[in-house]
Structure 1
Amino acid sequence: MLFELVSIIAKATTTELGIALLPKFLIRNQLDKVEFLPALDLPLTNNFGYHWVTPFEQITYPHNRFHKMVLYTG
């Protein structure tokens, strides 16, 4: 069930429906092929975390800039 859900979310992300929070080990191929890019420029502490990802061609879209609001408000 988890893999099916991740596949659906990943597909939605590639069709311009926004960004996704996905576990790195389930999207390794997309990251290696540069189909997805990390949406947040933060250091990773391990390979088992979840990561915001977005398709390469959408990295400059406005909805991918929301992380500044999330990370830097306080």
Structure 2
Amino acid sequence: MEYIKRNADGTLGNVVETPGHQILLTEELISILEAIVQLDMQNVSSQETIKQLNDRILALEDEVKSIKAGEKKW
């Protein structure tokens, strides 16, 4: 049986055959797997962006609290 080995950076690597199995991956299945990897990478990127935006929101909230408390001026 063939499978696609994933590289350390998350991209798809070479097709590797498991000893004793002869079922081949179809081109359609390989395309689907590549799409899944791409979506996974986009998901990770989106999660990082969301975290950065959340951190910025928290910083702005702290700044607004400081302004309201009179500790900081506009």
TM-score, normalized by the shorter chain, greater than 0.5? no
Give TM-score, length-normalised by structure 1. Answer: 0.25
Give TM-score, length-normalised by structure 2. Answer: 0.25
The structure whose RCO (Cα within 8 Å, separation 6+) is larger is: 1
Structure with the higher fraction of residues in helix conformation = 2
Q: Which has the larger radius of gyration?
A: 2
